[in-house]
Structure 1
Amino acid sequence: MSRLFPAPLLSAALFVLWLLLNLSVSPGNILLAAGLALFAPLLLAPLRPQHAHVRRPWTIAKLIGRVGYDVIHSNLQVAVKVLTLHANPPRSVFVHIPLDLRDTHGLAALSMITTVVPGTVWSELALDRSMLLLHVFHLEDEAAFIEHFKRVYERPLMEIFE
Structure 2
Amino acid sequence: MLDRLNFPQPWLSWVLFLTWQILSDGVSGGSVVLGLLLAWLIPQLTQGFWPERPGFVKPWRMPAYILRVVKDIIAASFAVAWLILSPRTPRPAFISYQLKLEHPLAISILASTISLTPGTVSADISDDNKTLLIHALDAASDQEVIDAIHNSYEKPLMEMFR
Question: TM-score, normalization: structure 2?
Answer: 0.78
Worse-superposed segment, 151-160 or 115-124 = 151-160
Which structure 1 residue ranges, 5 or more long, are not aligned?
none
Cα displacement (A) at 1:100: 2.0
Q: Distance in 2 between matches of 1:65 and 1:15?
A: 25
* 2:5 alignment counterpart: 4
Say which of 13, 27, 41 aligns to 1:39: 41
**Following superposition of structure 1 onto structure 2, how do residues 72-151 of structure 1 map, counting pairs within 5 Å?**
72-84=74-86, 87-151=87-151
Q: Which amino acid is the alignment partner of residue 156 of structure 2? A: P
Q: Give how far 1:116 is off.
A: 2.4
Q: Which 5+ residue runs of structure 2 have no aligned equivalent? A: none
Listed one character per residue, the Cα deviations across residues 102-158 of structure 1 (whole Å, up to 9, x for unaligned) are: 211221221222122111111100010111111111112122222222233223322
SS of the residue aligned with 1:101? coil
Deviates more, 1:115-124 or 1:11-20: 11-20
TM-score (structure 1 length as normaliser): 0.78
Letter in 2 for 1:80: W
Q: Which amino acid aligns with 1:79?
A: A
Aligned-residue CA RMSD (Å): 2.8
CA distance in 1, matches of 2:18, 2:152: 37
For residues 24-72 of structure 1, give each alpha carbon's deviation from its aligned partner in whole angstroms, at most 9, with x where no partner exists: 5577655543432231122222322322332346865654454343222
For residue 53 of structure 1, give the secondary structure of its aligned residue in structure 2: coil
Change in Cα spacing, 1:93 to 1:107, as seen in structure 2 (3 Å) is: same
